[in-house]
């Protein structure tokens, strides 16, 4: 099982394919005014660096970080005087909360052991200092009662919301890049030792080893790695001799250059680019998310409101020039209401030893 010890936080988008559905946005139940007041902000590069620094310094002594939507400051949640002093010394804004990282982790471990029901997901929202649980429309009344009983024993550490849609694969036929009769969206072009690759969703690369730019067309890339379930990332090496730019398609005649990669922060603004819904925008709402797909769980994902549809799987989640995630699935999407899940791209880059450019 892949888990974090703390609640952390040519073909730039050619591929298109089956999205995995999941639950919608979490309910807010604890008092943090920044959770709903102002539009979400894109962190400055220094905020990503500060988030990484705080993670290194505090480890499990923080219950998570989030971006204050009024000020744009990174807020670090703590439960002890020592952790508060360390966070302030690192340069972060600090908020005292009731539940520690260990308590939130224990709540998720209980859900994992007692309520691992297909059609559910849970993750940490540091703004509410809770584990936010979503149950889709496929969860039966009996299983819902079981889930609620487990959550009740956890006290206020877990909040449950019933959401529309279902956790299911939605593979689409036709379209841009094809493999195994399916289409997927590439996330980011990457490089290693002068070779060019793209990263995409692992549930896409599981389908086929060879990928083409059109149905029945010549192969442009060959799979070199795939991880799903548990993770949801894969990598394809370009074999057609091309050297595509390190950009993301904005579907308006322009592109976004990608120059670095980071980990998404709860409360920040985010955009998603994929072949079905093109570019959508939203906010990061939870981290360290577990999703119980019908064909296995994935761990340490990120939940956002950047909506999507079948065919967007593998697409790019990003903020400005910073690569953040690889699209995994969504459900209940309407405008910026609903949930879209991404695999943190930094894990995929580390696993394959590649970098964005």
Give the start-end residues of each E strand in 14-111: 19-20, 62-67, 74-78, 93-96
Coil/strand/helix, residue 168:
coil
Rounded CA-CA distance 18/173 in Å is: 9
Residues forming the active site: 203, 232, 313
Furthest-apart CA atoms within the chain: distance in Å: 62
* 3-state class percentages of the chain: helix first, strand second, coil last, to nearest 5: 20, 40, 40
Contact of 187 with 345, CB cutoff 8 Å? yes
**HSE of 114, CA atoms in CB hemisphere, 13 A:** 17
Question: Do 291 and 135 meet the contact criterion of CB atoms below 8 Å apart?
Answer: no
Task: Measure Cα distances from 180 to 110, 128, 172 in Å.
Answer: 38, 43, 11
Which residues have C-beta within 8 Å of that of residue 17, sequence separation ≥ 6? 171, 172, 179, 182, 183, 184, 185, 201, 204, 207, 311, 313, 314
- Please name the residue that has the structure tokens 């394809």: 236
Pairing relationship of beta strands 233-238 and 219-227 according to DSSP bridges: antiparallel
């Amino acid at each position: 099982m892949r888990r974090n010890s703390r609640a952390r936080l040519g073909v730039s988008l050619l591929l298109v394919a089956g999205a995995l559905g999941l639950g919608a946005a979490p309910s807010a139940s604890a008092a943090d005014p920044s959770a709903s007041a102002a539009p979400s902000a894109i962190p400055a590069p220094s905020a990503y660096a500060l988030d990484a620094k705080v993670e290194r310094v505090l480890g499990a002594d923080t219950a998570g970080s989030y971006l204050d939507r009024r000020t744009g400051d990174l807020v670090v949640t703590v439960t002890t005087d020592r952790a508060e002093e360390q966070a302030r010394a690192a340069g972060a804004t600090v908020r005292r909360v009731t539940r520690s990282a260990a308590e939130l982790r224990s709540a998720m471990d209980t859900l994992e052991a007692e309520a691992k029901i297909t059609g559910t997901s849970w993750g940490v929202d540091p703004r509410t200092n809770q584990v936010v649980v979503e149950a889709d429309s496929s969860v039966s009344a009996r299983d819902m009662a079981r889930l609620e009983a487990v959550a009740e024993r956890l006290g206020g550490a877990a909040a449950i919301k019933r959401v529309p849609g279902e956790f299911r694969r939605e593979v689409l036929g036709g379209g841009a890049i094809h493999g195994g009769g399916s289409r997927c969206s590439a996330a980011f072009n990457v490089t290693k030792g002068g070779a060019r690759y793209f990263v995409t969703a692992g549930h896409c690369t599981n389908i086929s080893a060879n990928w083409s730019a059109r149905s029945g067309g010549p192969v442009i890339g060959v799979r070199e790695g795939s991880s799903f379930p548990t993770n949801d990332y894969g990598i394809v090496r370009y074999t057609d001799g091309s050297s595509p730019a390190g950009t993301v398609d904005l579907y308006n005649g322009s592109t976004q250059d990608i120059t670095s990669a980071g980990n998404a922060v709860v409360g920040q603004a985010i955009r998603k680019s994929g072949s079905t819904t093109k570019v959508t925008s939203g906010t990061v709402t939870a981290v360290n998310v577990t999703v119980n797909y019908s064909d296995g769980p994935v761990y340490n994902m990120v939940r956002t409101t950047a909506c999507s549809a079948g065919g967007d799987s593998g697409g790019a989640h990003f903020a400005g020039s910073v690569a953040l995630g690889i699209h995994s699935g969504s459900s209940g999407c309407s405008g910026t209401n609903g949930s879209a899940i991404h695999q943190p791209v930094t894990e995929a880059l580390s696993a394959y030893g590649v970098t964005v450019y």
